[in-house]
Amino acid sequence: MKLHYIVTIACLLVITSKKTHQEEINIAIIGGGIGGTSCAYFLKEMFNEQVNIDLYEGNTIGGRIATVTLNDGNMYEAGGSVIHDRNRYMSNFVDITGLEKRNTALKSERVGLYSENGFEFIESNSEVVNIMKSVWRYGYGVKTMKGTIDGILNKFDKIYELQNAGKSYDDIVDLLVAIDPDFGSYLNISIKDAFINNLGFSELLVDEIVKASLVVNYGQDVDVHQFVGLVSLAGMGGSLWAVKGGNKMVAEKLVELSKVRLIQEYVVQITQNDKKYISYTLTTSNRNSLTYDYVVFAAPLAENQKIPIVFNDMIEPFKVGKYHRTISTFVVGELRKEKFSPFSYENDGKLIIAIKKEFFNSIGNIETVNNTSSNSNYWKIFSKEPLSSYQLNELFTSVSEVKVMDWLAYPHYQVPTKPSSFHLSDQLYHINAIEWAASAMEMSCIGARNVALLIKKNFENNWNQTTMEPRVEL
């Protein structure tokens, strides 16, 4: 009887010790952009006090959501600038953090499509006149295209229902197909072929309207795949907003809410330790090392990434392609009127998009992150390469300030799209896999919640296995 009592107590102690160990989860997140910080929030929401999260960010919180301060003392959006009114996660984050939305559209901003021959199309201040001009040039396809985009947005809303139900997916194709069976095929056809051959839109509409959206949003052409092309077009319409004070404030507030430990160092090495009881040791640029149950990679993992990481004792490569270089040049100066005549002679806000080969992608007026009035001579230029003084002189008659930011901003999209998985290895995940479908703040949040759900699923499976003890009969 005494022996039975001792064995029973011993078994209970073993089970209790296992349970205690399993309840405390140590997770590392590499990257402090919106993907990493939203993942931290979702994990904290799922696991509460059970989880300890270390967030590694060697630069500033926000990542590619960044601001630049010019000599007027004001801040301007330098990275991800606008958010669609149907982006539920970003809207929710603004609400729960107590931040404010601001209308990003310059009240009288108009778009001009520019080529070497001058302007091919200029929007009108009058909505009625603008509709008439659009139909005259592109036919009724402009209206049909809007219906197509609205239909895609309606279908895409299903992702929120799926994630609220706890559904998670191993790769981007599985995720897209779960939303709509047709979405998976969108990765393997160009937006140009899909729009002209499958949907019957005119080549002129594709080469001007569709291309303009891709040039200004992704710095790329109509040979990108259909899904990212549709996301780009959606970003040119609807009600767009940003966060008062800067979009990066969302990421900063999520760090506070998630109660993460911020480690301001770059991770340079990840080592997988035990093949049976998996853990990972992270080594930083300062040669510090810590070990975790789970690791979330929340940064671009590409052939040309800026901070290379060595993966020890794991199968490589994980890299699926290159990220596209985009230069943001902020200029305070007077636009050269003779080059951009007649558009340049009017005083309203302007967005000039180069739809034929130019050394710039777009030139647009900018507002401060607080929507305070800005002089019409404040501009942001996107280009593939840094602009020379000669090129700036081609665009401006006078320049009083120039500030440059060099980005690896988003994937270089190709058809067909290479497979991209949220799993790098067991208990090692990659949020930015979703960017190969489309790069946007909301897409990063969706990828972040998917990874958080994958971790929860893995943890629960491991928990069930470790708590299943063989029955002892005496």
Q: Which amino acid is at 399?
A: V
Answer whether residue 433 shows pLDDT above 50.
yes
Is the pTM value of this prediction over 0.75? yes
Taking all residues of the chain, what is their mean pLDDT, rounded to a whole number? 88
Answer whether residue 153 shows pLDDT above 70.
yes
Answer whether residue 436 shows pLDDT above 50.
yes
Q: What pLDDT was estimated at residue 374?
A: 59
Instruction: Tell which wins on pLDDT, 462 or 115.
Output: 115
d(CA 161, CA 92): 15
Q: What pLDDT was estimated at residue 263?
A: 97
Under the banding of pLDDT at 50, 70 and 90, the label for residue 368 is very high
254's CB contacts (< 8 A; 6+ apart) are 37, 38, 40, 41, 93, 97
d(CA 264, CA 59): 7
Q: Do the Cβ atoms of 298 and 368 come closer than 8 Å?
A: no
Answer whether residue 208 shows pLDDT above 80.
yes
Q: What pLDDT was estimated at residue 9?
A: 41
Q: What pLDDT was estimated at residue 316?
A: 58
**What pLDDT, in 10s, does the model give residues 318-334?**
666 889 999 999 999 99
Q: What pLDDT was estimated at residue 350?
A: 87
Mean pLDDT over 84-106 rounds to 89
Look at strands 25-30 and 51-56 and give their pairing.
parallel
Answer whether residue 194 shows pLDDT above 70.
yes
Angle of CA points 206, 208, 209, to nearest 5°: 75
Answer whether residue 5 shows pLDDT above 60.
no
Mean pLDDT over 294-304 rounds to 87
d(CA 151, CA 141): 15
Q: What pLDDT was estimated at residue 303?
A: 74
Answer whether residue 237 shows pLDDT above 60.
yes
Q: What pLDDT was estimated at residue 410?
A: 92
d(CA 317, CA 269): 14
Q: What pLDDT was estimated at residue 311?
A: 86
d(CA 254, CA 404): 28
Percentage of the chain lying above the pLDDT 90 cut: 68
For the chain, how far is it from start to end, CA to CA, in angstroms?
10
Length of the chain: 474
Question: Is residue 133 within a helix (H) or strand (E), and if so which, with residue range?
Answer: helix 127-138
Mean pLDDT over 94-98 rounds to 96
354's CB contacts (< 8 A; 6+ apart) are 114, 115, 215, 360, 361, 362
Beta bridge partners of 380: 330, 364
Q: What pLDDT was estimated at residue 108?
A: 57
Mean pLDDT over 183-196 rounds to 96
Q: Mapping DSSP to helix (H, G, I), strand (E, B) and coil, where does residue 388 land?
A: coil
Mean pLDDT over 337-342 rounds to 88
Mean pLDDT over 444-456 rounds to 98
Q: Mapping DSSP to helix (H, G, I), strand (E, B) and coil, where does residue 397 land?
A: strand
Answer whether residue 3 shows pLDDT above 80.
no
In 3D space, the residue among 432, 330, 420 whose CA is nearest the CA of residue 382 turns out to be 330
Answer whether residue 471 shows pLDDT above 50.
no
**What pLDDT, in 10s, does the model give residues 31-71?**
999 999 999 999 999 999 999 999 999 999 999 999 999 99
Residue found by looking up tokens 């708590």 in the block: 467
d(CA 412, CA 324): 5
Mean pLDDT over 15-22 rounds to 42
Answer whether residue 24 shows pLDDT above 90.
no
126 to 108, 303, 352, 406, 437: CA distances (angstroms): 10, 47, 18, 37, 36
Q: What pLDDT was estimated at residue 466?
A: 57
Answer whether residue 463 shows pLDDT above 90.
no
Angle of CA points 333, 336, 341, to nearest 5°: 140
Mean pLDDT over 165-194 rounds to 96
Mean pLDDT over 82-99 rounds to 94
Helix (H), strand (E), coil (C) string for 143-182: HHHHHHHHHHHHHHCHHHHHHHCCCCCCEHHHHHHHHCCC
Q: Do the Cβ atoms of 378 and 332 come closer than 8 Å?
A: yes
d(CA 465, CA 18): 11
Look at strands 350-354 and 110-115 and give their pairing.
parallel
List domains and CATH numbers for the chain.
2-57+247-321+416-466 (3.50.50.60), 67-167+188-245+322-411 (3.90.660)
Q: Do the Cβ atoms of 86 and 227 come closer than 8 Å?
A: no
Rg (CA), the chain: 25
Percentage of the chain lying above the pLDDT 70 cut: 89
373's CB contacts (< 8 A; 6+ apart) are none
